[in-house]
Amino acid sequence: MESENPNIITISLIIPVRDESVHFERNLLGINRQTVLPNEIVIVDSSTNDDVKVFIEQYIGSVPIIYHREKKAYPGKARNIGVKLANGDWIAFLDAKTFPKEDWLERYLHLMEAYHADLVFGVTRFDANSPFRTVLRAATYGKIGHHTVPGTLIKTKVFTDSGGFLEHVRMGEDIEWWERLDSRLFNIHRPNEPIVTYIGLTNNFLSTVKKYLTSAYHTAWLNILINVKDAYLSLLLILSAIILPKWNHIIGGWDTNPFFIPHVTKIYLLSIIFLFLAYQLIHYLFFRSMSQKLFFRTLQLIVIIFITLAVFNWNAAIAGWVEDAVLYVPHITKIYVCILILTSIFCRGILFPLKRKVEPSFLFPFRWIQIGLLGLSLDLIKAPGYVVGAVIGMIRRKGN
């Protein structure tokens, strides 16, 4: 609902909550210390207990609360419900575990006016208050800010025009929403300085494994559900990797067959590598703010598989297992695997953390190895989750 006075800006703060009463209570008290207060706080509670409800019934604060209980709601659905209940002409988002600086709304209103923005993205830094969380942060988010829905300030009309969040997905609805916003002519401002702190990093390896598996599964499933063309292109790419290298064998007759293609495997491999490099370059130059699609992930996997197969068969195909041959490479498979592992650990343990402003004093002399191994483990963990999510996504898409 628009304010009657166009010079008065009204802000509705939306907070979805699920079984996070301790963090939520602390967050709610902090919101009342904002230098510019929201006009109302809309709480969408999908908890399995009544802790949040009881706290709100006893709440005494400067900002009025609209409380709504929803039996089951993923974050996207909860935020959409909150916006429908809101009365402000601007919407601000937080989560129970995201804590804004006290001048968050004041600063974002200034940014909105200075850039004539329809939307100012939130910027979140991730807090680490235990040894494991500190290593996990270095291996993943680092100490830089990341654009997030929590902390975002957006015109209510713009949010409505964007179509809101997908409601039936557990994770990834924020990325899909950002990409949808980018495709429209909204005036979006993306600040770089962190304004929100997230305190919910997992505190042990097993819970981290579970979270990353779940995230990969739902991300792949979401990509399939929202982009069927991407799914079919990925399937076509997989079929081409299975069929084309064996083309001459499949058609029979070899060079006597009019459909015979000389050096078909080499041509296909070089084409795939060229496509991979071109796709990567285009994404880097023009679409860095968008998530990489299933097609690129499939392409990336196929390139790795072909290179790995080439290495495994090098001595047989190139050197004919003659150890005195010039091109024979002893222990080539072991060397290849070691290079992959060491390169990954080096990138995940040193290059990426330094790029994300993790202090060298924290990484050296030996902690970078622990960080690199954790990063490598998370990369390996995400792979099966993404594959399973993609397969199930295709099945469900076909079923619908």
Instruction: Between 277 and 339, name the one with better pLDDT.
Output: 339
List the domains of the chain with CATH numbers: 11-203 (3.90.550.10), 223-399 (no CATH)
Q: Tell me what the mean pLDDT of segment 138-157 comes to.
A: 96
DSSP assignment letter at 325: S
Please report which confidence band the pLDDT of residue 2 belongs to, taking 50, 70 and 90 as the band edges.
Answer: very low
pLDDT at position 3 is 45
The contacts of residue 331 (CB under 8 Å, 6+ apart) are none
DSSP per-residue letters across 289-313: TSPPPHHHHHHHHHHHHHHHHHHHT
User: pTM (2 decimals)?
Assistant: 0.78
Q: To which H or E segment does residue 285 belong?
A: helix 264-286
For the stretch 343-354, pLDDT in tens is 999 999 999 999
Q: Which two tokens stand for residue 222?
A: 């979401």
Q: Chain-wide mean pLDDT for the chain?
A: 85
- What does each C-alpha distance from 286 to 37, 282, 291, 321 come to in angstroms? 38, 6, 12, 46
Please report which confidence band the pLDDT of residue 5 belongs to, taking 50, 70 and 90 as the band edges.
Answer: very low
Please report which confidence band the pLDDT of residue 390 belongs to, taking 50, 70 and 90 as the band edges.
Answer: low
Side chain identity at 200, as an amino acid letter? Answer: G
